[in-house]
Structure 1
């Protein structure tokens, strides 16, 4: 007898019925949970990471003018000047000393600082903190033409006055204490009120001449703003360093920032590159040695010069095609930037010899 062939027939091309059980890939689960981290939470973490308070610099800088809109640009100009002591002398050295005391905040990553704090408490000794101070001091260049006094002032004002948070400690990435880090003078961040992330590329210039300081500052800043995102962009190396060495010990904050910096993440569409610039330069508004001027007279003299600084800044913004970028531009006239620089280097244990 012919054996009956038993088979299960299946029509070719008919899909198998899907089961109701769906397995979520672990990576997708993590991603979904991570997306629940809101911009408001990121904003809160950035704000809680700020060092200093708005009053931190009150004893060292007087606000002359804030938020001057420069015509035809998206730049706001701010001007600060140095106060007088009770004997009518300009307080240059106290400002330099304040910045010297901020070098750990500026140069050492927060995670490292927090580890040292914990160790200091557990050992009942300040030795771990003093070690950080020595490390920070060695990271700062001892070149006589160092502009790092300006970079520290930029940092102090960014966090204490403007409320934007440093997101990378570039000084720890230096390969030589006698060389400047090749990149921006600082990278800062804030969440915009309407949503999205502002990355502020910092640049500081300390020169005797206002026009030289302003022109060089904007020329140095321009590549970080003008170039499109890409591996060949001037800022790309700093972006990579932020992804690798972000200056925080909270993984939520680090991952939140990385989403905005990842060119393959749609959140990167909401990242806006902005400028944060500081220029310090000589001004004859201050009294010379042996002479006297009141604070009101200094302020009035600065007012008379301010239009020139505004015009110079606006002109160089235009010359560098930066009109469409949001920027804070700070002018800090000083009696002598060389006196400020040399005393700051002296505080670091360096002379004027390169």
Structure 2
């Protein structure tokens, strides 16, 4: 079984909601950064937020629940003649994980983590190899570290992708926070000498989200400190942000909406990428490799509100972006 075959979900329909935006830019000279820009598909000359929220809502089960648990419960439901209830019960379980996590951790950013999960699996061909969401709600476990652990193949070898996501109104603030998170992720604790990255590696070794035993062994060997091998890794950094003039763009003549939108998006891409490049160099992490993913919204506050209303938690508490 190859790595791509263990993707947690079928993402065939994602292009109905998310468009890959190809644009040339020269902001990352001297840095190992692969840029990945997207925008929501324009539906009937309007901003397709509702359709996008409906789509990401469909992905919460594979995002939240490890494949071994899904398979175990599927067999149990089949044995007891209640397979028709399986999907309903798993969705309820996933929603409950979101709500518990949000209540326990006011500053958590699960919507961004969910979107990052989808983009990596769908567009980067990088399946989730450890499911952290189900561990977050366990009060006995201190789950911090990255916002997701995925793997892909690079030059025929495994490559781990450490995820970081920020959904902020201000994209440049999100860039700053992401770089701070990456620096912190690699910084050993003064007392224990253990970095959050080390804890994430242990989580992956203890709780792999891989249904194939041969592939699981290959992944575990990758992280075995006693097995000498080249450790390829990169940081997948996702930013969802408010696009300036979004509302103004969609109030213009219908024939010019797409062009006007892309022109404005291109301007902000340049500014955001320049900020990302500056922050990387300033933090002295310019030797790292990055995937840089952008997805603009009319309002990230509306995105959060729409998503939590969709899963039946409309009264969630918003938090200050500066403290996320």
Q: Same fold (TM over 0.5)?
A: yes
Q: How does 1:1-354 map to 2 (within 5 A)?
A: 44-52=1-9, 55-65=12-22, 70-86=28-44, 88-122=45-79, 123=81, 125-140=83-98, 141-143=101-103, 146-175=108-137, 181-193=143-155, 195-224=156-185, 232-267=194-229, 270-288=230-248, 291-292=251-252, 294-354=257-317
> Is the CA contact 1:187–1:199 (under 8 Å) kept in the aligned structure 2?
yes
Q: Deviation of residue 312 (structure 1)? A: 0.7
Is the CA contact 1:205–1:280 (under 8 Å) kept in the aligned structure 2? yes
Partner of 2:322: none
Shift >6 Å, 4+ stretches: none
Query: 1:124 Cα shift?
Result: 5.3
Deviations 1:216-265 (A, max 9, x none): 112112344577xx961221111111111100232212211111101111
Q: Number of residues paired by the alignment?
A: 305
Rg bigger for which structure? Answer: 1
SS at match of 2:7: coil
Contact 2:23 2:266 in 1 (8 A): no
Secondary structure at 1:275's aligned position in 2? strand
TM-score, length basis structure 2: 0.86
Asked whether the equivalents of residues 165 and 239 of structure 2 are also in contact (C-alpha less than 8 Å), the reply is: yes
| Distance in structure 2 (CA, Å) of the matches to 1:288 and 1:175 | 41
- Contact 1:103–1:136 (CA under 8 A) maintained in structure 2: yes
Higher relative contact order (CA 8 A, sep 6+): 2
**Per-residue Cα deviation, 1:31-63 (whole angstroms, up to 9, x for no partner):** xxxxxxxxxxxxx43111014456432121122
Pairwise CA distance, 1:98: 1.0
Would you say the 8 A contact 2:2–2:215 is kept in 1? yes
CA contact (8 A) 2:46 2:250 kept: no
Residue 167 of structure 1 aligns to a residue whose secondary structure is strand
Q: Residue 126 of structure 1: SS of its match in structure 2? A: helix
The runs of 5 or more residues in structure 2 that have no matched partner are 318-324
Report how far residue 181 of structure 1 moved. 4.1
2:320 corresponds in structure 1 to none
Q: 1:180 to 1:334 in 2, by over 3 A?
A: farther
Q: Could you tell me whether the CA contact under 8 Å between 2:9 and 2:59 is conserved in 1?
A: no
Structure with a larger share of its residues in helix: 2
Relative to structure 1, is the Cα distance of residues 274 and 224 closer, same or farther in structure 2, using a 3 angstrom cutoff?
A: farther
Would the alpha carbon gap of residues 53 and 297 (structure 1) be closer, same or farther in structure 2, given more than 3 Å must change?
A: farther
Distance 2:248 2:313 in 1: 27
**CA distance, structure 1, for counterparts of residue 303 and residue 202 of structure 2:** 34
Counterpart CA distance in 2 for 1:257 and 1:182 is 21
Structure 1 unpaired stretches of 5+:
1-43
TM-score, normalization: structure 1?
0.79
Larger displacement relative to structure 2 (155-164 or 47-56): 47-56
Higher alpha-carbon deviation: 107-116 or 47-56: 47-56
RMSD: 2.6
Mark the CA change 1:119 to 1:312 in structure 2 (over 3 Å): closer, same or farther. Answer: same
